[in-house]
Amino acid sequence: MSASEPLRPAFRGPLHLPGEAAYDTHRATWSGSIDPRPAVVAEAVTPSDVQAAVLIAQAHGLPFAVQSTGHGTHVACDGGLLLKTSQMAEVLVDPDRRIARVGPGALWGDVIAAAAPCGLAPVTGSSPTVGVAGFTLGGGVGWLSRKLGFAADSLLRVDLVTADGRLVRASAHEHSDLFWAVRGGGGNFGVVTALEFRLHPVRSVYAGTATFPLDRAAETLVRYRAWAPSQPDELTTALVLTQDALAVRAAYVGGADAAERALRPLWEAAGPPLTNDLRPMGYAETATLGGTAPRQFELFADLPDAVIRAAVDAATRANAVEVRHGGGAMAQPGGPVGHRGVPFSITVDGLPEAALAQHATGGSFLNFLQDPSRTHTAYTAEDYRRLREVKRAHDPDNVFAIGHNIPPAPQENQRGEHPVQRRHADRVRSVG
C-alpha cells in the first residue's frame, strides 16, 4: 500500500511520492546538508490537514516531521511522513492592536512588508526568507533583540496540533505550560497552524557596516568587551573578522547623532574606517547587513585575552568569525530561550575551533545549533527539566522526535496509563 493512500480521504492538500516530479523539490532542505527520503510529502492547506497527518502517521507507524522553508532541518525523515506547511502562509496585520497573525508557512519578508506601511516591525533575524514559525519556536534573535527581546518574547498566542490530534490554542491564559514551552522549545510540542505576535513601532533604524584593517581586530575586541555592556539597549552590534578585514555591523533604534556618539569608542580603537555605509534606513533594509553562517556557535561569560587571541587566529582560516554582545531585553526572564544571562557569543563560519570551545560555557542556542545530539545544551538545566515534563504531559510517546528532540521525562506513575496517552490512543484508533 502506498504511504499516501490512508491520507487521501482526509487530506485536502497535494501529496508527493518518490518518483513523482515534485517530490524532490518538496523534500529538499534549505542548506542541502542532508538528503531526506520520506515515504510521502504532504502539503497542508488547512489545520484539519495537519490533524489528519499527525494521526495517520501514528496509525500507520510512519516517522513524522514538519518543514516549511527547511532552514532548521537537520534530521532526515527517511521512510516517514514529511508535512510541509509552506502553503499556509497567510499574513494579517492589525495596526491598531499592533499584532500580526500568520500561518506556519509565512516568511519574515512577508510580515515585514505587511507591517512597514503601518510604521511597525517584528523581531526578525538577518534573512527575510526564513520562516516565521521555526525561527520563533527556536527563540529568534535579530537586530531589534537587545531593545525588544527574542522573537519568542513577542509571541502572544499560538494555535497548534498536539500529539493526540487536538487543535489547541496556547497563551498566557490557555494551556500556559505549552505556551511557555513553545517559546524556545522548538517543534517538540505540536505542529503550529497559526501564530500571533506583537509588532513594534519601529519605522526606521540607523544601521549599516563599517570596515577596518584586520590588524586592529585584537585591540578593537579588547575595547569591545568593556564597551559593549555599557551601551543602550537601542544599539545592537557585531564584530566580524574575515581574512581581509574587520567589519562592525550595527543597528540603532533611533537617530544618527545618538548612534554615532555611542559607536565612537569602537571607531577610536579600530582606526579610521576603510568603508562606512551606516545610514538611516527602513527596517526592511537591515537584511542587507547579512549574517554569519553558524557552523560553530559558542557562548562566553566574558572575552578574556585567550578568547580574543583564539578568535583572531580563527579568522585566518574561517570564512568569518562573528563576535556579538547580547544583554538588554534578551537577558530578561521569559520562555526557555537559550542562556539569557550569558552576554557574549562567537559564531564561526568554517571548521570548528577547539581553542574557542575550551573557553566557552558549553551552552548553545537552538536556532544556531547544527548537532541534534546537543539539543540539551540550548537550555539551562532547570529549563530542560521543565521542558521534559511538559513533553511528558503533551507528547508522552515522543511523536515529535525528529529534529532537535526533547524526550519526555519518565512517567511518574508507571502503573497506570497517562491521561494524554489514553486520549492519544483513542484518537489514533479512530483513524486507523
Structural contact between residues 332 and 258, judged by C-beta atoms closer than 8 angstroms: no
Q: What is the reported pLDDT for 421?
A: 45
From residue 256, give the alpha-carbon distance in Å to each of 59, 250, 277, 299, 377.
59, 12, 12, 31, 39
Kindly state whether residue 1 falls inside one of the protein's structural domains. no
Residue numbers of the domain that contains 316: 205-378
Q: For 382, phi and psi rounded to 5 degrees? A: -70, -40
Residues 292-349: tens digit of each pLDDT: 999 999 999 999 999 999 999 999 999 999 999 999 999 999 999 989 999 999 999 9
Residues 94-153: tens digit of each pLDDT: 999 999 999 999 999 999 999 999 999 999 998 999 999 999 999 999 999 999 999 999
Q: What is the reported pLDDT for 72?
A: 72
Q: Give the end of a domain, one of 174, 198, 222.
A: 198
Share of the chain above pLDDT 70, in %: 95
Query: Is the pLDDT at 384 greater than 90, yes or no?
Result: yes
Query: Is the pLDDT at 420 greater than 60, yes or no?
Result: no
Confidence of residue 432 (pLDDT cuts 50, 70, 90): very low
Q: What is the reported pLDDT for 30?
A: 76
C-alpha cell of residue 387: 521542558
Q: What is the reported pLDDT for 427?
A: 52
Max distance between CA atoms of the chain, in angstroms, equals: 71
Q: Are 156 and 234 contained in the same domain?
A: no
Q: What is the reported pLDDT for 282?
A: 96
Q: Are 110 and 245 contained in the same domain?
A: no
Residues 190-248: tens digit of each pLDDT: 999 999 999 999 999 999 999 999 999 999 999 999 999 999 999 999 999 999 999 99
Q: Give the end of a domain, one of 33, 55, 84.
A: 84
Kindly state whether residue 334 falls inside one of the protein's structural domains. yes
Query: Is the pLDDT at 31 greater than 80, yes or no?
Result: no
Query: Is the pLDDT at 417 greater than 50, yes or no?
Result: no
Structural contact between residues 140 and 123, judged by C-beta atoms closer than 8 angstroms: yes
Q: Are 227 and 322 contained in the same domain?
A: yes
> 236 by DSSP, 3-state: which?
strand
Query: Is the pLDDT at 430 greater than 90, yes or no?
Result: no
Q: What is the reported pLDDT for 70?
A: 77
Kindly state whether residue 240 falls inside one of the protein's structural domains. yes
Kindly state whether residue 405 falls inside one of the protein's structural domains. no
Q: Are 334 and 245 contained in the same domain?
A: yes
Q: Give the CATH number, domain containing residue 149.
A: 3.30.465.10
Q: What is the reported pLDDT for 415?
A: 44
Across 218-222, 410-414, 421-425, which has the greatest mean pLDDT?
Answer: 218-222
> How many domains is the chain built from?
4
Residue 188 to residue 389: CA distance in whole angstroms: 12
Q: What is the reported pLDDT for 274?
A: 97
Q: What is the reported pLDDT for 69?
A: 81
Q: Are 111 and 189 contained in the same domain?
A: yes
Give strand pairing partners of 107.
131
Q: Are 373 and 256 contained in the same domain?
A: yes
Q: Give the end of a domain, one of 84, 117, 140.
A: 84
Q: What is the dihedral of CA 150, 325, 111, 130, to 10 degrees?
A: -100
Q: Are 224 and 352 contained in the same domain?
A: yes
Q: Are 330 and 282 contained in the same domain?
A: yes
CB atoms within 10 A of CB 35: 11
Residue 298 to residue 255: CA distance in whole angstroms: 32
Q: Are 120 and 254 contained in the same domain?
A: no
Burial class (CB in 10 A: 0-12, 13-18, 19+), 153: buried
Residue 156 to residue 145: CA distance in whole angstroms: 17
Q: What is the reported pLDDT for 109?
A: 96
Query: Is the pLDDT at 405 greater than 80, yes or no?
Result: yes
Average pLDDT of the residues of the chain? 93
Residues 343-358: tens digit of each pLDDT: 999 999 999 999 999 9
Q: Are 174 and 250 contained in the same domain?
A: no
Confidence of residue 71 (pLDDT cuts 50, 70, 90): confident
Q: What is the reported pLDDT for 32?
A: 73
Kindly state whether residue 2 falls inside one of the protein's structural domains. no
What is the average pLDDT across 154-160?
98
Q: Are 189 and 102 contained in the same domain?
A: yes
Q: Are 221 and 351 contained in the same domain?
A: yes
Confidence of residue 414 (pLDDT cuts 50, 70, 90): very low
